[in-house]
Amino acid sequence: MSNVYQKRIEAVRKGFDAAGIDALLLTGIYNISYITGTKGDDLNILITRDDAYVITDFRYREMAQGLTWLTYFETNAKRLFTELISGASFTVLGVEEDNISLGRYLKVKEAAGTRKVVPVKGIVESLRTIKDEDEQQRIAAAEKLGDEAFSHMLGFIKAGLTESEVAAELEHYMRSHGASGLSFSTIAVSGPNSSYPHGVPGLRKLQAGDFLTLDFGCVLNGYCSDMTRTVAIGQPSDEMKKVYDIVLRAQLNACANIHAGLTGIQCDAFARDVIAEAGYGEYFGHSLGHGLGLQVHEDPRFSAVYDKTIAPDTVVSIEPGIYLPGKFGVRIEDLAIIKPDGIINLASSPKELIIL
């Protein structure tokens, strides 16, 4: 497995010239996880032309020394890692613009002396966009746990439960079946609350005639899942069924037509056009999908403004929705591996309207 991480380090080095650097300090925990295969919370990584260092303190010595493809360097909270910066071989050091505090940046700059320290972004993130086979399998396993959690919830959900109780049960199931954490804060919103795309579960009780939207994900083996299903509590109104059908048609159309080589704008349009033609375009205000991996939101994107081409072996959500203020909302989301000839849909939960 170390060979995988060594190849990732070499790929990072290949980005040095374009960024105008000859060394890179990684302080972002997810980029560190990508290079180490472990949680990046208590580590930093310095990659030079000739070496790659894992920097930590005594508490994590044994773990860090197990990363045999990296040179171990021990520091402490008081010294940080400035002594390594002082002695390392480089002319221009890149620091992660989005992942370093001002205070730490100033200390690194001081340690570098007369050598340049410049902010850079996207070097590791661009590599993370493409998922190798192992990453795809990890994401698929996390999404499978999400499917199992949803199946469990269909036997749990009933009128009278609060949104918070539903969210707690969903989270408990995922954690008690192997998840190390949540991809994001669980969304479980009902009735008029379901018109909030990112609503927060509260004390509202589920009632007959409600839509209940569940948007949730877990972290398994370091990688995230993400899925959304909207179900009805008791008989939905004709308007609710109509809107649900439009969202479902939009989602199925996107799943049937998306493939690598299209732009994010083109992918987004497969769902957006269906919703707009049905007269609900103004009620679909977010993008169709986002990349996912070590983090729940990564590149690429399916959106009306993302004009980059979607590469094969990216993993992206497909999640159209319609949200009618004060009434209800509907969202349906799958997670898919994007291939040259279509998608591999990682979600298997039913998408036809479920009435509980």
Structural domain span for residue 63: 2-128
As for how many domains the chain has, the answer is 2
Q: Supply angle C-alpha 41, 180, 193, rounded to 5.
A: 105
* 124 and 153 both lie in a single domain: no
* 30 and 150 both lie in a single domain: no
Q: Tokens 């505090």, residue?
A: 101
Distance, first Cα to last Cα, the chain = 46
**79 confidence band (pLDDT: 50, 70, 90):** low
Statement: residue 76 has pLDDT above 90: no
CATH number at residue 53: 3.40.350.10
pLDDT tens-digit series, residues 255-275: 999 999 999 999 999 999 999
* 121 and 138 both lie in a single domain: no
* 188 and 79 both lie in a single domain: no
Average pLDDT of the chain, as a whole number: 96
* 164 and 282 both lie in a single domain: yes
**1 confidence band (pLDDT: 50, 70, 90):** low
Give the residue among 350, 284, 287, 277 at the shortest CA–CA distance from 318.
Answer: 287
* End residue of a domain, out of 83, 105, 128: 128
* 168 and 43 both lie in a single domain: no
pLDDT tens-digit series, residues 275-326: 999 999 999 999 999 999 999 999 999 999 999 999 999 999 999 999 999 9
Residue 112 lies in a domain: yes
* 235 and 330 both lie in a single domain: yes
Give the pLDDT score at 279.
Answer: 98
Residue 119 lies in a domain: yes
CATH number at residue 305: 3.90.230.10
* 294 and 170 both lie in a single domain: yes
Residue 354 lies in a domain: no
Going by their DSSP bridges, the two strands 23-26 and 92-96 should be labelled as: parallel
Residue 58 lies in a domain: yes
